[in-house]
A = this chain, B = another copy of it.
């Protein structure tokens, strides 16, 4: 699917391509072969097609690239342009792997490092889009948004009553004059999310960071001042669980954060608090979260990611909990951000192939 309103006309593209071909007649054998595992759309593909030095071989379907197609096409390829759903193992001719994603769990980076294959990825550009959806899910989880939408969808608009569909208020108010945001992981997305919460009246912030990073009280004090908070401090997981009105899970995936939100964590949270996960499904134990919602340990949850996605059926314990708002991994899914990611991935690939500095290289440990 190409994004609306941003595409060149097919005629322009065809003309550009013809001009390129005409002025640089080369045989495919003289060109660098790159395989593209997904059509990146009419605003991005010309970045590759318009380079006469490249022989671009693209998976032509609007669904995930088949393993067999990759195996057939990768021989002789110097570069691969991949997405988060493609498992990439470095072949012998390969010089550059570029992925349109912030994650790189799907790439065999160890082999890439050993063989001096350059890897590019697309972090940072999705910060604002993910911060947007983190706030959206915090609001939806507090305000019984899923139940509200489902009532109306079933033609069962509830009659007004003083406390029907009431939830905890995200913003401060005469009854609740403080609000604490908790973050598991406190990188760019967490800070962009925190900045959005300030006009809602948030007064305090607690976060955890990777155990290997050091606390920096001076930076924390600067952030506290910048956001005009009463307090901003690094704490333990327990501090975040016990002290927060909203907990945002925004740490990387992988074994070190596996089920960091488990039954123990959820039991320590406030009964009126909500949990938001816009990071990776593996950080949250889905069964424990479903139990927490069912038994009222916490008020609600909003998740963009679920362990095992996309295999999440109607019997999944979280799908069955009406207070769990679930959207299907659309954290970075805005036209602007996905276009920026795709075009950055194409630029990383080209720079890697032509031995120019990659806009955003992944630093590999050899």
Contacts and interface: CB of A to CB of B under 8 A. Distances in A.
Contact of A310 (B1, B159, B172, B326): B159
B164 A1 contact: yes
Interface stretch (A12-20, A110-118, A123-131): A123-131
Interface stretch (A46-54, A215-223, A231-239, A335-343): A335-343
Contact of A163 (B2, B159, B175, B328): B2
Contacts of A131: 171
Interface stretch (A90-98, A150-158, A247-255, A284-292): A150-158
A169 B336 contact: yes
Interface string A137-149: 0011011111011
A63 B161 contact: yes
A200 interface: yes
A62 interface: yes
B155 A313 contact: yes
Nearest to A296: B4
Interface string A286-328: 0000000000100000000000011111111001000001111
A271 interface: yes
A274 B163 CA distance: 29
Contacts of A153: 150, 314, 319, 326
A192 to B, nearest CB: 8
Contacts of A172: 128
A152 B328 contact: yes
A361 interface: no
- One complex includes copies of this chain to the number of 2
Contacts of A171: 128-129, 131-132
B167 A335 contact: yes
Given A83-B160, A196-B199, A328 B165 contact: yes
A364 interface: no
B132 A200 contact: yes
Given A158-B310, A336-B173, A148 B199 contact: no
A195 interface: yes
Given A157-B309, A335-B168, A336-B175, A163 B199 contact: no
B330 A157 contact: no
A199 B201 contact: no
Given A64-B159, A310-B157, A338-B166, A135 B135 contact: yes
B271 A338 contact: no
Contacts of A40: 162
Interface string A1-12: 111110000000
B310 A169 contact: no
A330 B195 CA distance: 26
B151 A140 contact: no
B143 A330 contact: yes
B271 A4 contact: yes
Nearest to A326: B152
What are the 3 tightest A-B residue pairs by CB atom distance, in nearest-first order?
A169-B334, A148-B327, A136-B139
Given A41-B163, A148-B326, A155-B315, 20 more contacts: A5-B271, A5-B272, A38-B161, A38-B162, A63-B159, A128-B200, A129-B169, A136-B143, A140-B140, A144-B330, A144-B333, A149-B326, A152-B326, A155-B312, A162-B338, A162-B342, A164-B333, A165-B330, A173-B337, A199-B199
